[in-house]
Structure 1
Amino acid sequence: CFTSCCRKLELYLYPYDVLRLKNSLGIQSAEFMHRHTRIASGSHPFFPAVMLNMRDNADRTCPFLGPEGCMVYKDRPSACRTYPLERAVEKRAGKHGMVVHYFMTHHDYCKGHLEQRQYTVEKWERDQFLHEYNLMNDCWAEVDAFFATNPWQGEGAAGPRQQLAFMVCYNLDEFRRYASRHNLLKLFRMDRDRRRRIERDDAELLRFGFNWLQFVLGDRPTLQPR
């Protein structure tokens, strides 16, 4: 990483990106969202997107860029890991399976293009530890495709249902408290090991949250009620 691309970014953050970054910084989801993000228009009109705020300086540098490089390198967002590739997932609501597309981008300021080592897509993803990110982002693509069907039942943008969905996706610490208050895990059939993982692991909680949203908002069989 030569840090040349860590400036003037229009960087979208997915739910798993926020999870990794807030844990890396040791702060709650709500604090991370307040300090480092802004709301923007998404790929469809029924759910907003989240973007990373740049610093208010001449170069509009990434807030996590330090003198020696990326300060959250181990937990940097998926877009940073994937670059110079771009990964697009085609998922249509109501249809099974996904189609993944890759695009190569080239910017003159990127010194990585001058390197001699060659990669296949598979090798690059292994090198950048993208497996878990891709799995979580594919889950998110399915949920976002579900949101594109406008499951808010006439409430419109920022109604109670959409606010609930936004909490699950981007304020995971609050969702954990919500799940505890409402005993959500006890409402569904799952083995003890899975329940324990959800209680202890943020990524497992996010997966559960994705399934729960589709169950409660769309009556989809993503969970088994008791």
Structure 2
Amino acid sequence: MSNTPRTPGDDDDDYYIDEEELAASTYVPAEPDLQLEVFDAVRGEGGTPVNPVRLDAEDTFRFRCHKGVSCWNQCCHGADITLTPYDILRLSKHFEVRPAQFLAEYTVPATFDKSNLPVAKLKMGGTDGKGACAFVTDDGCSVYAARPATCRYYPLGVVSMKMKDAESKEDFNFIVTEPHCKGHDEDQVQNVGAYKAEQQVTDNERVDRGWIDILMKMASWSTMGGPMGKAPSLATRKMFFMATADVDAFRNFVLNTRFLESYEIAPEAVDIIKTDDEALLLLGYDWLKAVLFNEPTLTLKEHVLQQAIAKARTEMGAA
């Protein structure tokens, strides 16, 4: 499929999924133990050395990045940076543009490994994508206050893990050691918890949690050949990208299709999502979880549910 960012006003009916069919479908398979690396190296060339030792908040590591280090700005060339939904919002606000315009100018379409779902990656310079990041200057990052989560965490990687019988997911960190990075040779000892606080990753962890949950669930399906043995459909991929990357297209979908006629959404919540992009992202996660995994994150209105049941009974030959 093409992940090319869409602009508001495109034919959003392309995204519409029959809510009756969704209500009658239950896709949730048994989940295996699953470990998903959400943020790892900035170079996507495979074989990147990582320290597999789990790091908790109180653990320490040696690292310092500053203009005097010999590798200054090297990590900003040919970087492999997947943007999270919150990254896209924050960078769009930095440039005072809407997400669709930011996506068109600064990103390239990609697929998140294991989940087979579309994501946006930061565009690098050069015909081969090995050139400089558009935001790097001699003095460092020109969008430092709005920099992506991958850059904030570095040199920490992030693993999100769920054991088969566990009720909740668990995140932990590990050290990424890449040959180009000399920050590991510096004398400064960092505390994991304090480093993450300094890098201000709290908002990413809060807003992007639902996105990570969906990627994990789809990755677990992939290990078993997908729901009912199938890979994510074109419709699934399109609606995932719309809801997690292009908030204006998703807002148009929510407000100008049968969405609000199908789901129980409080009037005050509708008023909020008309202008609040973060709230709209959270609604998008709930919608995707309900549609894809039959999770009770959104409630179908009674008449929609009854229509779905009636349709299913008819198709099964029941009276």
What TM-score, normalized by structure 2, do the two folds share? 0.61
Cα shift at 1:111: 5.1
Determine whether 1:82 maps to 2:153: yes
Alpha carbons of 1:93 and 1:30: their partners in 2 closer, same or farther (altered >3 Å)? farther
Superposition pairs for residues 54-73 of structure 1, below 5 Å? 54-56=124-126, 60-73=131-144
195, 198, 201: which one aligns with 1:130: 201
Cα shift at 1:162: 2.2
Judge conservation of contact 2:118–2:240 (CA < 8 Å) in 1. no
* Alpha-carbon displacement from aligned partner over 1:4-39 (angstroms, at most 9, x marks no partner): 421121112222222222222222222222222222
79, 88, 113: which one aligns with 2:184: 113
Counterpart for residue 144 of structure 1: 215
What TM-score, normalized by structure 1, do the two folds share? 0.83
Superposition pairs for residues 139-178 of structure 1, below 5 Å? 139-148=210-219, 149=221, 150=226, 159-178=234-253
Counterpart for residue 122 of structure 2: 52
Mind listing any 5+ residue stretches in structure 2 that lack a counterpart? 1-65, 68-72, 302-319
* SS of residue paired to 2:116: coil
Alpha carbons of 1:13 and 1:94: their partners in 2 closer, same or farther (altered >3 Å)? farther
Judge conservation of contact 2:124–2:132 (CA < 8 Å) in 1. yes
Determine whether 1:23 maps to 2:93: yes
Alpha carbons of 1:152 and 1:199: their partners in 2 closer, same or farther (altered >3 Å)? farther
Judge conservation of contact 2:87–2:148 (CA < 8 Å) in 1. yes
In structure 1, distance between residues paired with 2:162 and 2:139:
39
Letter in 2 for 1:27: V
Larger RCO (CA under 8 A, 6+ residues apart): 2
Counterpart for residue 76 of structure 2: 6
Judge conservation of contact 1:15–1:140 (CA < 8 Å) in 2. yes
In structure 1, distance between residues paired with 2:124 and 2:159:
24
Cα shift at 1:79: 0.5
Counterpart for residue 223 of structure 1: 298
In structure 1, distance between residues paired with 2:247 and 2:228:
20
Cα shift at 1:87: 1.0
In structure 1, distance between residues paired with 2:164 and 2:143:
34
* Alpha-carbon displacement from aligned partner over 1:51-76 (angstroms, at most 9, x marks no partner): 21101289711111134321211111
Between 38-47 and 12-21, the greater mean CA deviation after superposition: 38-47
Cα shift at 1:85: 0.7
Cα shift at 1:151: 5.8
Root mean square deviation of aligned Cα: 2.9
In structure 1, distance between residues paired with 2:241 and 2:158:
23
Determine whether 1:213 maps to 2:288: yes
Letter in 2 for 1:14: T
Letter in 2 for 1:65: V
Give the aligned length: 224
Cα shift at 1:201: 1.9
Between 22-31 and 93-102, the greater mean CA deviation after superposition: 93-102
Letter in 1 for 2:286: N
In structure 1, distance between residues paired with 2:88 and 2:113:
18
In structure 2, distance between residues paired with 1:218 and 1:33:
28
